[in-house]
Amino acid sequence: MFSVKQLKPVEYPLVNRFYKAQGYKGKARGNENIFVLQQPQIVAALRLTPLTDQWLLRGLWVDYMLRKQGLGLALLDGIIDFLTINHYYCFAEQDVVPFYLKANFIIPDIHTLPVSILQRFKAYQQRNTGLQALMWQRPSSLDAPLGLPKCQSHWLKT
């Protein structure tokens, strides 16, 4: 059984070790909300970074040995109850866009992106022209989970 957990800032070194072991260069920072999927070790992680009045999903990473098993989707499904606003954004490489579309993200019209997201997207695009902006919008009904491995959610106040 997997469990979704929001880490406290004091636990961020755990996810940073996971990222480093997996070859991901990003690091958890104090202003982010970090979620992990555990069994009991971390098998997937993601970061939600605040940008003015919006949130950017970054660093969604699944253990290389466990990919293609639905764990990334299970992590996204497991954090839905913790999300406090209706829209979240991410910037994805073209090869993982289908994954995000499967997780109910949409490709928004770039002209409709909030200013803080658009500015960050343009800055990222200067370094990587292949990025795609994506948006997740809260479903009108949370009765339609992704149908993936079930997770226990553990909410830890930060």
pLDDT digits 0-9 by tens, 43-53: 999 999 998 88
* CA angle in degrees (0–180, nearest 5) for 89-34-99: 45
pLDDT at position 7 over 70: yes
Give the largest CA-CA distance in the chain.
42
pLDDT in tens, 63-81: 999 999 999 999 999 998 8
Q: Distance between CA atoms of 141 and 138, rounded to whole angstroms?
A: 8
Query: Among 64, 81, 102, which Cα is nearest to 151's?
Result: 81
Residues in the chain: 158
State pTM to two decimals. Answer: 0.83
Handedness of CA 82, 87, 92, 96 (dihedral sign): positive
